Amino acid sequence: MVAVQETVDRVRRIDVDQYRYGFETLIESEKAPKGLSEDIVRFISEKKSEPAWMLEWRLEAYRRWLTMTEPTWARVNYPKIDYQDLYYYAAPKPKKTLSSIDEIDPEILKTYEKLGIPLREVAILEGVEPPPGGEPSEQRRIAVDAVFDSVSVATTFQKELKKAGVIFMPISEAIREHPELVRKYLGSVVPTSDNFFATLNSAVFSDGSFVYVPPGVRCPMELSTYFRINERNTGQFERTLIIADKGSYVSYLEGCTAPQRDENQLHAAVVELVALDDAEIKYSTVQNWYPGNSEGKGGIYNFVTKRGECRGANSKISWTQVETGSAITWKYPSCILRGDHSRGEFYSIAISNGYQQVDSGTKMIHLGKNTSSRIISKGIAAGKSQNTYRGLVTAHRKATGARNYTACDSLLIGDKCGAHTVPYVEAKNSSATFEHEATTSKISEDVLFYCVQRGLSQEEAVGLVVNGFVKDVLQQLPMEFAVEAQKLISISLEGSVG
Amino acid sequence: MALLEVKDLQVRVEDREILHGLSLTVNPGEVHAIMGPNGSGKSTLSHVIAGKPGYEVTGGQILFRGEDLLEMAPDERAAKGVFLAFQYPVEIPGVATMNFLRTALNAQRKARGESEYSTPDFLKKVREVSKSLNIPQDMLKRGVNVGFSGGEKKRNEILQMALFEPSLCILDEMDSGLDIDALRIAADGVNALRSPERAMVVITHYQRLLNYIVPDFVHVMAKGSVVKTGGKELALELEGSGYAQFEHAA
């Protein structure tokens, strides 16, 4: 029938390889020799002018890593990674101490401009006159730490944050400038022995962000890190450490993209959050690493360990993630609820299209009394992708009055994809209340036809239905991120119907 | 020029021919009732006019204001003024009805090269129409058809019909699942939309609906084609004699 043919043609016209951040920046870079050895670990540590304790920490992790094997329990398939065929360090050249943004390689500035990441504070700094009749530009006040391959190239708003007592800087600098804080907290949530990828990260991490919010301080603006992998055959191993001291609050955003390449690239990050008494950390991610092309070639292998510890009483950690990129996603942002009355939250939208494989979820580990957690996961599978939610909710013997609510919903678009839900629930005391709800549904032809009969195009109809499906989670994102995420969701699903 | 001309339409679903040579002409301002037993092809006809996937047109044509409707995608047909009120309106969780109405209306206007409605104009229009249909404002904040009663779903269809101002309205079994009061409200809504420019095709199994929406023409369908056409009195006649006579004749 003509109408059907029309739809098929229209979908065919849409380029599946729609990744909009796939460009490469041509700059000279300095790399460590390929491969991994003690010498490489020493090389990285030396490049960063690290103190001896840090090198020891890394070497211990490296030696342990040698004894570990890659985990195989996730529902993902990929060819064996040759860890000796990777570069573990790449930095834009020349690397010298920058005193102002103007000294950054203009090519890098252009890169971030193209990505829509503001590295120039100028227009939004205090004292800049708003246009006549215009609003003061309050809404775009976000401090950015930009990580390009292995190093941080710029961190904005540092001065203003300093005034509030907030430390926000590349972790490589924090190791030198605030060793007491880093030593106390680094590895205290994700120990060097935690898992294969986290241990590898501990040995070779090259940069990332460090945040410390002092007691009673509400961080005056959103903090964000923007990760970009540019170099070929280079792994990115960033490390983020956020500490919210007693009674403080911070909201942190993370974004990521990478050029379009035929080879797969490895990304193995570690994020550690520590919330002390009455503190709150809100961590939001919009992950848009290159997902590979329509035949499943290329794309980022995203093996990430993210964990927060509610160490103090009444503390709260909230993870929100929108996962649309990567060829493989292996990621379980988790909360250890150690403090009494602490609260953990996990809100997730994971979209897979093409040949993407997602195995993601969370762990809520209830240790303290009257702790509570909430998990809202929305998985959307299209194309030939596989999308798995894997979650663990556990209550310790002493975690009396623990409460959890979990809702996992999966939406299938087309009939060649798969959605899987693997929840583990474990209560070691009888006073725990755990609720779990799960649904799997398909965008039906009838719903799509209803929408197109009312004038929407097929693509608009899918976008509308999906955005309705993920609404509960989108509402958790900071306003302007939510708008971006909504657009990203529509782009990720282009070409998924037909 | 006729608004809708269906000429010798033949339609298959998989290996089965459902419509064999159906013809129908509808002029602006007319209300046509299509009656017939289950499986006679009434709903298939409405689906093919609206462009639902899954049907194969093997012969004949459908002209809408002289243009070949079968060459158009379903959303293009909607923008041209073809509206189908569904027998079973679908639910779209998480999408507020108000948002859906606005997105759809603006999509249609954009396709026709018209400017989008401003927010105050749109809200004013929705309020007017929903009031006349006895639709409470909070219903518009809920997800599209989510948790709506049968009557509310049908009223929501008529609300959209009133907002989009289509030139051809096809009402597919509008009376199914409605009690007599809900039916009257829905029918009043439809009657309010009758105009010299707008035509309606009312598909129904029972004569009951036609007491409220009085047609100019009644067509009886059996086994995939129109077997008899008459005025409104034909519906009453059928009430007495049933469809059996036509099933044998067809």
Q: Which pLDDT tens digit goes with each residue over A12-71? A: 333 334 565 666 665 566 777 888 899 999 999 998 899 999 999 999 999 999 999 999
0.95 cut: is pTM over it? no
Residues facing residue A92 across a β-bridge: A29
Least confident of A60-74, A152-166, A315-329: A152-166
Structure tokens at A476: 């958790």
Please report, for residues A97, A100, A120, A341, the alpha-carbon distance to residue A144 in angstroms, rounded to integers and kept in the order given. Answer: 18, 14, 10, 32
Structure tokens at A31: 């790399």
Nearest CA in chain A to B96: A468
Burial of A173 (0-12, 13-18, 19+ CB in 10 A): middle
Scan for tokens 């302007």, then name that residue: A480
The reply to whether residue A4 touches residue B54, judged by beta carbons under 8 angstroms, is yes
Q: Which pLDDT tens digit goes with each residue over A404-417? A: 999 999 999 888 88
Q: Which pLDDT tens digit goes with each residue over A449-489? A: 999 999 999 888 988 888 888 888 888 877 767 777 777 77
Amino acid at the residue A456: L
The residues near A156 (Cβ < 8 Å, ≥ 6 apart) are A101, A118, A119, A120, A121, A143, A144, A145
Q: Is the dihedral of CA A15, A17, A21, A23 positive or negative?
A: negative
Question: In chain B, how many domains are there?
Answer: 1
Chain B contacts to A (CB-CB under 8 A)? 50-57, 70-75, 77-79, 83-84, 86, 89-90, 92-95, 100, 103-105, 107-108, 111, 143, 160, 164
pLDDT at position A475:
82
A465 inside 8 A of chain B by CB: yes
Nearest CA in chain B to A472: B94
Distance from CA of A414 to the nearest CA of B (A): 15
From the centroid of its chain, how far is CA A357? 16
A6 inside 8 A of chain B by CB: yes
Q: How far apart are CA A242 and CA A104, in angstroms?
A: 26
Q: Spell out a b/e string for A119-134, using b for 16 or more CB atoms within 10 Å of the CB, else e.
A: bebeebeeeeeeeeee
For the domain that residue B79 is a member of, what is the CATH number? 3.40.50.300
What is the helix (H) or strand (E) element at residue A38, kind and residue range?
Answer: helix A38-47
Q: Give B84's contacts in chain A (Cβ within 8 Å).
A: 453
Q: How far apart are CA A254 and CA A227, in angstroms?
A: 8
Q: How far apart are CA A473 and CA A491, in angstroms?
A: 18
Secondary structure class of A307 (helix, strand, coil): strand
Window 120-149 of A: residues touching B by CB (8 A cutoff) are none
Q: Which pLDDT tens digit goes with each residue over B150-188? A: 888 999 999 999 999 999 999 999 988 888 888 888 899
Nearest CA in chain A to B160: A454
The reply to whether residue B55 touches residue A1, judged by beta carbons under 8 angstroms, is yes
Q: Which pLDDT tens digit goes with each residue over B83-141? A: 999 999 999 999 999 999 999 999 999 999 999 888 888 999 899 888 888 788 888 99
pLDDT at position A496:
65
Please report, for residues A9, A330, B115, the alpha-carbon distance to residue A187 in angstroms, rounded to integers and kept in the order given. Answer: 53, 20, 58
Q: What stretches of A95-248 adopt beta strand conformation (E)?
A: 142-148, 151-155, 167-170, 209-213, 222-228, 239-244
Q: Give B108's contacts in chain A (Cβ within 8 Å).
A: 454-455
From the centroid of its chain, how far is CA A433? 30
Per the rule left: phi > 0, alpha: psi between -120 and 50, beta: everything else, A393 is beta
A169 inside 8 A of chain B by CB: no
The reply to whether residue A456 touches residue B70, judged by beta carbons under 8 angstroms, is no
In percent, the amount of chain A with pLDDT more than 70 equals 77
The residues near A498 (Cβ < 8 Å, ≥ 6 apart) are A7, A8, A10, A11, A12, A458
Full residue range of the structural domain in which residue B206 is found: 4-249
- B contact test, residue of A453, A456, A474 with most B CBs within 10 A: A453
Size of chain A, expressed as the number of residues it contains: 498
Q: How far apart are CA A140 and CA A268, in angstroms?
A: 30
Q: How far apart are CA A363 and CA A393, in angstroms?
A: 6
Nearest to A168 by CA among A184, A154, A183: A154
Nearest to B144 by CA among B165, B159, B127: B159
Measure CB to CB from residue A450 to each of B51, B90, B111 and give the nearest one.
B90
Count of A-B CB contacts under 8 Å:
99
Amino acid at the residue A60: E
The reply to whether residue B86 touches residue A444, judged by beta carbons under 8 angstroms, is no
pLDDT at position B213:
93
pLDDT at position A233:
60
